[in-house]
Amino acid sequence: MKIVDARVIVTSPGRNFVTLKLVTDDGLTGVGDATLNGRELAVAAYLTEHVVPALIGRDASRIEDTWQYLYKGAYWRRGPVTMTAIAAVDTALWDIKGKAAGMPVYQLLGGRSREGVTVYGHANAETTDGVLAEVARYVDLGYKAVRVQAGVPGLATTYGVSGDKMFYEPADAAIPSEAVWSTERYLTHTPAVFARVRDEFGPQLRLLHDVHHRLTPIEAGRLGKSLEPYALTWMEDPTPAELQESLRLIRRHTTTPIAIGEIFSSIWDCQQLIAEQLIDYIRATVVHAGGITHLRRIFDLAALHQVRSGSHGATDLSPVCMSAALHLDISIPNFGLQEYMRHTAETDAVFPHDYHFADGYLHPSEEPGLGVDIDEELAAQFPYRPAALPVNRLEDGTLHSW
């Protein structure tokens, strides 16, 4: 089962996606997501110029060997561009493996560990009353968990809050737009928002909040402490995690659970956080953390230390990645939550898929492989358009985070 063709497809049905499609000599195909938000063409070039030539003629059944070949053979290891490219190849090979076996990929990963994948949606609005309305909408849709993001009074914009609620896409301009941020206003306002939400919806609904790396460790400890009465499932990305030991300081000041990892690209980025139990949920993704093969390694390490999965699932991950994530989610023993931002109708048309949402759960495809594909003719109708994530500056002009 040799790889005879490999195509890198760039398309923008509502937002930019990069997809790798592999074809074997016996006619099987596999797809892998290679989207790196705001840096899509860097991965497309890496695949086209360096990876694809090395794939032609390789045995498509040798998934682990191919992963090691692409990781070790480049000499320059890790990093988001390299690991996203490897992820695309790995995911496509798992798709082919499932089709060759006549099984959905999750069966090759050990079968089901649960009946469905619990997902959370994004309830966001400029005002607290607007947030309450958005939470109610997700509850009506059957969601069992909701991420709550609110505008901050006195700030013109807040990352994570948008006008288009169900199909929010934060990458908004070819050159990053800039906004003003105030940590003081945010720390004062956020607990009041959660007080209202918890009072309105009671203790059973799982609530989450994303800090977007904006706080220092002691500021994050203060926020976590103030949110303890509202029993959040997690506080996400409270501080930049490059300095992993900084999470120890947050742990000393709050029992609010912590989730980190959507920008991690390898197990080495989170080894200390997991081994020292400095986090409760690891949010690494199939597409950015080296594919199904490597993300499974991360989740296995996490399971040894009572850390659960909580994979990133924003719209910058195509339905190819979402499908792959669901096959992994349904099979691992330490699953926690799966983020689920719905794609636009245009995106769903370009990426036909069989996974579906029902009663608060996502269910993976039962078709052989991943149960997702790309319509290449339709994809060609949506050309690439430059789009970058915004950045923040403090009120004095200091460049901050999102």
**Cβ contact 364:323 at 8 Å:** yes
**Cβ contact 368:103 at 8 Å:** yes
Active site residue 159: yes
User: What is the rounded CA–CA span in Å between residue 133 and residue 149?
Assistant: 12
C-alpha count within 13 angstroms, C-beta hemisphere, residue 49? 8
**Cβ contact 80:288 at 8 Å:** yes
Q: For residue 260, what are the contacts with CB-CB under 8 A and spacing of at least 6?
A: 236, 237, 238, 241, 247, 270, 273, 279, 281, 282, 283
User: What is the rounded CA–CA span in Å between residue 102 and residue 125?
Assistant: 45
User: What is the rounded CA–CA span in Å between residue 208 and residue 258?
Assistant: 10
Amino acid letter, residue 369: G
Residue with tokens 């032609």: 56
Amino acid letter, residue 200: E
From 29, 112, 72, select the one nearest 370 (Cα to Cα): 29
Three-state secondary structure call for residue 329: helix
User: What is the rounded CA–CA span in Å between residue 293 and residue 290?
Assistant: 7
H/E stretch holding 275 reads: helix 271-275
Active site residue 75: no
Q: Which of 212, 288, 312, 353 is catalytic?
A: 212
Q: DSSP of 96-111, one letter per residue?
A: HHHHHHTSBHHHHTTS
Residue with tokens 């039962």: 366
What sign has the CA pseudo-torsion 313, 315, 316, 320?
positive
Task: Report residue 251 as tokens.
Answer: 């742990």
Cα dist. 82→3, 50, 73 in Å?
Answer: 20, 10, 11
In the chain, the N- to C-terminal Cα span, in Å, equals 45
Q: For residue 348, what are the contacts with CB-CB under 8 A and spacing of at least 6?
A: 319
Q: Which of 46, 106, 159, 361 is catalytic?
A: 159
Task: Report residue 157 as tokens.
Answer: 């914009």
The residues annotated as belonging to the active site are 159, 212
